[in-house]
Structure 1
Amino acid sequence: MPTVAFYTLGCKVNAYETEAIWRLFEQRGYTRVDFEDEADVYVINTCTVTNTGDQKSRKIIRRAVRKNPDAVVAVTGCYAQTSPAEVLAIPGVDVVIGTTGRNRLLEYIEEARRTRRPVNAVTNIMKVREYENLTVTKFAERTRAFLKIQEGCNNFCTFCIIPWAKGLARSRRPEDVLAEARALAEAGYREIVLTGTHTGGYGEDLDGYRLSDLLRDLSRIDGIERIRISSIEASQLTDDVFEAMAASEKLCRHFHVPLQAGDDAVLRRMRRKYTTGEYAARIERLREIFPEAAITTDVIVGFPGETEAMFEAGVRFVEQIGFSELHVFPYSKRSGTPAARMPDQVPEPEKKRRVQTMLALNERLKAAYRRKFLGRVLSVLPEAREAKPPADADAGEVWLAGLTDNYLRVSFPGDPSLIGELVRVRLDALDGEVLRGTPVRLLSPVAGA
């Protein structure tokens, strides 16, 4: 049997797409092997969010070529889309395909084998208007299933290259989303995670069917007990979405709402579609529906033109909102974006200082949110054995690790047969970022709080 190995860089969308591409290979009789093993075909799914992402992608491509010089090396993803000539210039690359047309990847691989010449299958992504329907009904070593519902972005934030890599927003047909969700439920997945380039924008290009409609329809599917939205913009938290959220008993109390900056002047320079006041109002409404929801976010510090006063205003705003966790990034120049050409670039040492300040706040916020649930009983979906059981655990005792619906990482002693099943767990102690607990009872078939 021919063998194929994959390497995925970047986001959860890329991870989903790698799984979908693997299913195409699987249908053709391929065996999947580890990327560090020798394979007949290597597929690298690249990232281009930052210039560093490009560098990492090139490094992994060269590693694949060294692993087996006789293998076919195929490169897909965002870096392949935006810089196909750079990718093809790497000796040993056979196929470059970008972010659309992946359903023809095996065809291109056979062409490269037959002709012994590289294949450049990258097309103009800005002309693509149809969602490419790649399907995944099982995930390797996962108890949660990612369900991609959307592709592309129309926002064109000044720091972001993604619209040029993924194209304009395209929504997946509702019937295809629901069919995949039903298949995942039948395969035993209890939780689905809705994902996309701009997930909350689902339906904006459809005729009368929006994210709120999808949430209602997904909530009716038997077997799916949790629905998690991977990310949603504050501007997409509309009244109809709030109504659909409030009506669903399956929606996870965890919402990732990117902020990027806590100062209005910086938000304008970023070309974000909200003010801090509008953002705060939507979070307040969200908490009225889900009082103990985990609200996580992204924050960029050191954006061009961000003064010390603007940064301090951002710190105060983040503390005011009281996020459960921050993903903090120093601004990184991305070639080809307006922000890379802006004046008043913040010096690197200052960006590092601001990152450390925001990270220190993040540690306080995370601990405060987790401590609120000590002594409470929550449902946990165990995903695997705990890699690091507590030091005082009994010899030979098996510990499991998983997530609550509000994205708390929990570990507890239990039989491995509970992996993939919802379990009631009392949260006893906070150990770093992990809550240690004691199982109360198996929760089936309907998830509790």
Structure 2
Amino acid sequence: MGSPKVAVYTLGCKVNQSETEAMASLFKQSGYEEVDFDQVADVYIINTCSVTHLADRKSRQMIRRAIKNNPHAMVAVTGCYAQTAPGEVLNIPGVDLVVGTSERNRIVDLVNEARMAETPVNAVKDIMGMSDFEEIAGEEPEHHRVRAYLKIQEGCNRYCSYCIIPYARGPIRSRPMENVIHAVQRLVEMGYKEIVLTGIHTGAYGAETGNVDLAMLIRRLLEVEDLKRLRISSIDPNEVNEELLDLMAGSQVLCRHLHIPLQSGDDRVLKRMNRVYTTSDYKKLVEEIRMRIPGIAITTDIMVGFPGETADEFLHTLAFTQEIGFSALHVFKYSPRRGTPAADFSNQVSWKTKEERSKELISLGRRLSEKYAETNIGKVYNVLVEQDTRIKDALFWEGHTDNYLKVVFPCAEDDRRGFFVKVLLERYSDGVVYGRPV
């Protein structure tokens, strides 16, 4: 008899990815061997997403795939879909355990307890009154020691009218600063070159106490010896403050990249969304950022088809997106989430209209990405090499610059994963910058 096998699958955001890696590590510490999700395993962990109805559907598909892979395995479902719809998950024949977005630090024990139970176990807890950040002791990412996603914060108090996440994740809880510093030190010692700070509402770090904030945390992290790169996963417009910009302008470690969700380029839509800024606020912020940090990449999320979004309001979003000139767009179609105010709004936009608007905005995003990339051609950047990749039968190394350009350059014999390579950027094609080492 060999070691028992565990397989994990992540849907959704970088927070989920971080949590899945931690849970997998807990199983490995308990003597399990991790195998690919499509292999036969003794335990399957599906970490679900519920940000749209498509995420719900994909979560159900992956649960059923696990059951099909091995009908006799223990199937445990965690994450946002499990938290908000545990009954739906338990109704899928073959599911043994539903955990939600808490108690992940007990996942191995919960699986063992569920194995002894006669019926599927619902271990989902009420998270709305939680006040402490859940540390998952197994946090040991394994990606060739290149980039690690470090969760520093949980929950959201914003309650945008379309969003299920505050109900799925509960109120803001921040990881204690000393714990974050220790985790970064450990990851650096393990050989990781880039640390990405992530959370459900990363920019709200420390907001529940008022004693610390994200800039204060980053100032401390920049003192960590041998930390090469630090990146912020996402931050809301009203959370980009002077101290953060000072740190970014004065540091070679803090990446020149900010992902600042816009959601809509129309003020009336923003108000209905319960966002707390206007397009004027957003534009002023971007102008200040670019003045302080030349060459910075500013990327964003934009939603199309929010209830009541008129043709004119969408055109305002198109025009504003063009005016700002983002480096990249993440475009997604509004999806009604049960229990959120927007799900009950009148004037729901048709799927066909959402699809048309999405395609138009994605097309604009491609043009903007190309325009931004072109401004970097002819420059030399440090590229952190992540993996090799094959393009038209040729082998390349692939990595990212600090301003989040995906760069490929010809593959040499030696393994460059996890190394920084100086690369002259020569041309842009189909979302990739081609270059050569210098």
**Structure 2 Cα separation of the partners of residues 113 and 347 of structure 1:** 45
**Structure 2 Cα separation of the partners of residues 387 and 151 of structure 1:** 38
* Cα distance change of structure 1 residues 274 and 207 upon mapping to structure 2, 3 Å threshold: closer
Aligned to 1:245: 248
Say which SS state the counterpart of residue 361 (structure 1) adopts: helix
Cα shift at 1:142: 5.4
Aligned to 1:445: none
Aligned residues: 434
Aligned to 2:407: 410
Aligned to 1:375: 378
Question: What one-letter code is carried by the residue in structure 1 that aligns with 2:30?
Answer: R
Match of 1:126 among 125, 128, 133: 128
Question: What one-letter code is carried by the residue in structure 1 that aligns with 2:424?
Answer: R
Asked whether the 8 Å contact 2:75–2:95 carries over to 1, the reply is yes
**Structure 2 Cα separation of the partners of residues 138 and 62 of structure 1:** 26
Aligned to 1:192: 195
Instruction: Trace 1:38-437 onto structure 2 (pairs within 5 A).
Output: 38-135=40-137, 136-141=139-144, 143-388=146-391, 398-415=395-412, 416-437=414-435
Question: What one-letter code is carried by the residue in structure 2 that aligns with 1:437?
Answer: G
Once the two structures are superposed, residues 349-385 of structure 1 have per-residue CA deviations (whole angstroms, 9 ceiling, x without a partner) of: 2222211221221121111111111111111001011
Cα shift at 1:6: 0.6
Cα shift at 1:319: 0.9
**Structure 1 Cα separation of the partners of residues 390 and 79 of structure 2:** 31
- Please provide the CA RMSD for this pair: 1.4
More displaced 10-residue stretch of structure 1: 47-56 or 15-24: 47-56
Cα shift at 1:9: 0.8
**Structure 1 Cα separation of the partners of residues 390 and 208 of structure 2:** 44
Tell me the TM-score normalised to structure 1 length. 0.94
Asked whether the 8 Å contact 1:137–1:187 carries over to 2, the reply is no
**Structure 2 Cα separation of the partners of residues 254 and 69 of structure 1:** 45
Asked whether the 8 Å contact 1:381–1:404 carries over to 2, the reply is yes
More displaced 10-residue stretch of structure 1: 344-353 or 184-193: 344-353
Question: What one-letter code is carried by the residue in structure 2 that aligns with 1:436?
Answer: Y
More displaced 10-residue stretch of structure 1: 348-357 or 24-33: 348-357
Asked whether the 8 Å contact 1:147–1:192 carries over to 2, the reply is yes
Query: Which runs of 5 or more residues in structure 1 are unaligned?
Result: 441-449
Asked whether the 8 Å contact 1:200–1:232 carries over to 2, the reply is yes
**Structure 2 Cα separation of the partners of residues 435 and 170 of structure 1:** 39
**Structure 1 Cα separation of the partners of residues 376 and 88 of structure 2:** 50
Say which SS state the counterpart of residue 381 (structure 1) adopts: strand
Cα shift at 1:280: 0.9
Aligned to 1:4: 6
Question: What one-letter code is carried by the residue in structure 2 that aligns with 1:191?
Answer: E
Cα shift at 1:206: 3.2
Once the two structures are superposed, residues 43-77 of structure 1 have per-residue CA deviations (whole angstroms, 9 ceiling, x without a partner) of: 11011111221111112112211221211111110
Question: What one-letter code is carried by the residue in structure 2 that aligns with 1:433?
Answer: G
**Structure 1 Cα separation of the partners of residues 233 and 135 of structure 2:** 19
**Structure 2 Cα separation of the partners of residues 133 and 243 of structure 1:** 30
Say which SS state the counterpart of residue 128 (structure 2) adopts: helix
Say which SS state the counterpart of residue 428 (structure 2) adopts: strand
Asked whether the 8 Å contact 1:414–1:439 carries over to 2, the reply is no
